[in-house]
Amino acid sequence: MTQANGETAQGVLAGLSENLAAAVETAAVSVVRVEARRGNPSSGIVWTADGHVLTADHTVEREEEIPVGLGDGRTAQGRLVARDPGSDLALLKIEASDLVPAARASDDEVKIGHIVLSIGRPGAAGVMASLGIVSALGGQWRTSRGGQLDRFVRTDATLYPGFSGGPLVDAAGRVVGVNSWTLSQGAGLAIPVGLVAQIADALTQGGVKRAYLGVATQAVALPAAVRAKLGTQQESGVMLVGVEADGPAEKSGLLIGDVLVTINGNPLNTADDLLAQLSGAQTGQQAAVKLIRGGEVRDLPVTLGQRS
């Protein structure tokens, strides 16, 4: 490499370095420290100028008088507005002036290969950042907390302790996703900002409404005779091994030992199939369940309950 080429390369790297530092500075003013769990602070994002802050639900162990450390050194007191365990998001409200809400990218701007930064404010020392790229953009996934989310962003940017609830940002410092170590179990999955915005809107209205049955299940094989009665080649169903007392399933007449075969005509081969159907259902709606009880095929209308 010639001296001129070397100087050019150094200049490019220096420019990139300055741009990334500027991105961190841009994002940092909207990244806060949340002390809602004793001895284990997390990060959060100033979402609105009037004091709504998003953070990781698994780190919120109290609902009132939550110290929130702001980017300018101030500490505000927060309270829990609502939480959504399935997406590991919680919405806090703080009383503070001159808040700067995080700038957001749109989901369709994010591409595989883009440089991204995970940003957190886990301690009093200030903001921290790690560098990576968008390694994948995916569709539906089952979170470790039982939620069914429509899409995800995968990155190799390191999540240090206390980064949960903080943003994944692009090279301009705009939020492209929200990080959660617990949600992805270290797999580097972030919730895309468009989906985060939908959940945040629901949380401001009091919570995310998720349909549920109140059952514990396991997959079981369907005998040939049962498949013949059903007129299907479906090889497995979902047996109820537990029914919550006074829950939607019990109120609708479902019993332990029932084997659910379809819901609204959609086959149920595994517990994940049932969860996927419930995640897209409206609370209070009636679902048509086909089941096996005592070797006989039955159709039962089931009213879905609400779990916030």
| pLDDT tens figures, 61-96 | 989 999 999 999 999 999 999 998 888 999 999 999
**Same structural domain, 82 and 188:** yes
**Same structural domain, 121 and 245:** no
CA dihedral 20, 21, 26, 32 (to 10 degrees): 110
**Same structural domain, 203 and 214:** no
pLDDT at residue 43 greater than cutoff 90: yes
Boundary (domain end) residue, out of 142, 175, 207? 207
**Same structural domain, 48 and 166:** yes
88 is catalytic: yes
CATH value at residue 140: 2.40.10.120
pLDDT at residue 18 greater than cutoff 70: yes
Boundary (domain end) residue, out of 207, 232, 259? 207
106 is catalytic: no
pLDDT score recorded for residue 116: 98
pLDDT score recorded for residue 206: 77
pLDDT score recorded for residue 184: 67
pLDDT at residue 1 greater than cutoff 60: no
Average pLDDT of the chain to the nearest whole number: 90
Token pair belonging to 194: 């468009």
**Same structural domain, 184 and 171:** yes
pLDDT score recorded for residue 39: 81
Catalytic residue among 42, 43, 52, 58: 58
pLDDT band at 214 (very low <50, low <70, confident <90, very high): confident
Lowest mean pLDDT among 35-39, 68-72, 193-197, 274-278: 274-278
pLDDT score recorded for residue 307: 62
Catalytic residue among 88, 170, 258, 273: 88
Region 253-277 average pLDDT: 90
57 is catalytic: no
- Residue 231 structural domain: 210-307
For residues 189 and 141, the answer to whether their CB atoms sit within 8 Å is yes
Q: How far apart are CA 246 and CA 249, in angstroms?
A: 8
pLDDT score recorded for residue 9: 79
CATH value at residue 283: 2.30.42.10
pLDDT at residue 308 greater than cutoff 60: no
Tally the C-alpha atoms within 13 A of residue 225's C-alpha that lie toward its C-beta. Answer: 4
Lowest mean pLDDT among 21-25, 29-33, 83-87, 256-260: 83-87
Q: How many domains does the chain have?
A: 2
**Same structural domain, 196 and 117:** yes
Region 135-141 average pLDDT: 87
Q: What does residue 272 show for φ and ψ, rounded to 5 degrees? A: -65, -35
pLDDT score recorded for residue 2: 62
In sequence order, the 6+-apart residues with CB closer than 8 A to the CB of 176 are 104, 105, 107, 109, 110, 116, 134, 153, 167, 168, 169, 170, 190, 192, 193
**Same structural domain, 79 and 222:** no
**Same structural domain, 202 and 251:** no
pLDDT score recorded for residue 144: 72
**Same structural domain, 175 and 228:** no
Boundary (domain end) residue, out of 172, 207, 242? 207
pLDDT at residue 220 greater than cutoff 90: yes
pLDDT at residue 256 greater than cutoff 60: yes
pLDDT at residue 270 greater than cutoff 80: yes
pLDDT score recorded for residue 263: 93
pLDDT score recorded for residue 94: 97
pLDDT band at 124 (very low <50, low <70, confident <90, very high): confident
pLDDT score recorded for residue 273: 82
pLDDT at residue 284 greater than cutoff 90: no
Catalytic residue among 42, 87, 118, 164: 164
pLDDT at residue 298 greater than cutoff 60: yes
